[in-house]
Amino acid sequence: MQIFWLKRNLRLQDSEPFYCSMRDYRHYGGVLPLYIHDPDLIRQPDVSRQHQAFIQETLTELAKELEALGGGLLQAVGESTAVLDKIHQLSPIKRIWTHRETSQQSEYQRDKQVRVWCNARGVELVEVEQNGIARGSQKALSFPEYFSASINLTLKDPTGTDLSKRFAPLPFPSCCESEIPLARGADKPLRQKGGRKAGKKILDQFFNVRNISRYPSRISSPNTAWDGCSRISTYLAYGIVSDREVFQAVDRVVSSGHEKQNSVQFQRLQDQARFFLDRLNWRRQYIQTFERYPAPVVDPKATAKIARRRVHAIRNGVTESSQLGLI
């Protein structure tokens, strides 16, 4: 049997792990989609009730998508290796497909424990890179290279396909929502709703010439940013929408402008689209930086030197970033 392990990759569209597991079912066995509600992760300080509710809404919708394809989603509560061990005893696992996690240290440690568990039992763990983030000695593509490769891909979407023969039956019933430990805090009534439909609605409604043209000015003010930003960040963070889908949405906007605008208008639109893409580039750079350097490195002497320069600059009325060494 194969496991399609869902973590921060909560989608079936443009999902290489899902596609590859379906492709290889004859050799490695049927596919079991799995989400683990790990109490240790739920207790982390970066997790609150609103995050948990968002995830659960997404999983509820995802389960329906899988049912439409002929499969099911197993949700289980427990430490990740313990859940995998329970499944393995009932139906031996040959391979686990998932996206490579690039978020918190707690999740990285969870993944290391799962890798140790897999090595001890002869289970192959395949972690597919996400957001173009490189790990270890792997060389990262530049943003232009990654963007160009992304917009030229045909993104796979299994919707409407009968894949019932390729799924494995659930080895035991999914947990009830009441069995899932609650994260700290309270849910927020005005938060964004989870699920692929909500993310897809943003892709369909925000990415047009009018919104991209207004984006640079509207995102710069708290009075207009609420309506002027894309609000796609949450869906990117949980892998409900892929960055490649967003890249292709921006590319479609630029292509539309090329057909309808004069040269001056089109040049302005290109600049405005680049402004939006710059934010996606920064996002990718920050994730890559934390992947390369997970622990902050602080040089006390350099920190003190920067502080003295800033005090000197303020006293002399010089506050330009070029004088202060700010980014």
Which residue ranges make up each domain of the chain?
2-140, 196-292, 298-327
Yes or no: say if 256 and 208 are a contact pair by the CB < 8 Å rule. yes
Question: What are the residues whose beta carbons fall under 8 Å from the beta carbon of 139, sequence distance 6 or more?
Answer: none
Other CB atoms within 10 Å distance of the CB of residue 152: 9
The predicted-structure confidence for 50-86, as pLDDT tens digits, reads as follows: 999 999 999 999 999 999 999 999 999 999 999 999 9
Write down the pLDDT at residue 292.
Answer: 84
> What string of H, E and C letters represents the secondary structure of 184-250?
ECCCCCCCCCCCHHHHHHHHHHHCCHHHHHHHHHHCCCCCCHHHHCCCCHHHHHCCCCCHHHHHHHH
The full length of the chain comes to: 327
Q: Hey, do 2-140 and 196-292 end up sharing a CATH topology, with the first three levels equal? A: no
How far is the C-alpha of 157 from the C-alpha of 73, rounded, in Å?
18
| Binding site as annotated, residues | 215, 276
Q: Which fold has domain 2-140?
A: Rossmann fold (3.40.50)
Nearest to residue 62, comparing CAs of 238, 237, 206? 238
Q: Enter the pTM of the model.
A: 0.87
What type of residue sits at position 160? G
Question: What are the residues whose beta carbons fall under 8 Å from the beta carbon of 188, sequence distance 6 or more?
Answer: 50
The predicted-structure confidence for 128-180, as pLDDT tens digits, reads as follows: 998 998 888 888 899 999 999 999 999 999 999 999 999 999 999 999 999 99
HSE (side-chain half, CA atoms, 13 Å) at 163:
29
The predicted-structure confidence for 91-136, as pLDDT tens digits, reads as follows: 999 999 999 988 888 999 999 999 999 999 999 999 999 899 888 8
With tokens 């609000």, the residue in question is 231
Write down the pLDDT at residue 326.
Answer: 33
CATH number of 196-292: 1.25.40.80
How far is the C-alpha of 89 from the C-alpha of 97, rounded, in Å?
19
Buried b (16+ CB within 10 A) or exposed e, 17-29: bbbbbbebbeebb
| Binding site as annotated, residues for FAD | 215, 276
Yes or no: say if 258 and 266 are a contact pair by the CB < 8 Å rule. yes
Write down the pLDDT at residue 291.
Answer: 87
pLDDT at 16 over 90: yes
The predicted-structure confidence for 276-324, as pLDDT tens digits, reads as follows: 999 999 999 999 988 888 776 556 666 666 667 766 666 665 544 333 3
Handedness of CA 173, 48, 298, 278 (dihedral sign): positive
Which tokens in the block code for residue 261?
Answer: 């605008």
pLDDT at 327 over 50: no
Write down the pLDDT at residue 294.
Answer: 78
Yes or no: say if 206 and 231 are a contact pair by the CB < 8 Å rule. yes
Write down the pLDDT at residue 290.
Answer: 87
Burial of 316 (0-12, 13-18, 19+ CB in 10 A): exposed
Buried b (16+ CB within 10 A) or exposed e, 112-122: eebeebbeeee
Helix axes 263-292, 243-260, angle to 10 degrees: 170
Q: Which of left, alpha, beta for 181 (phi over 0: left; psi -120 to 50: alpha)? A: beta
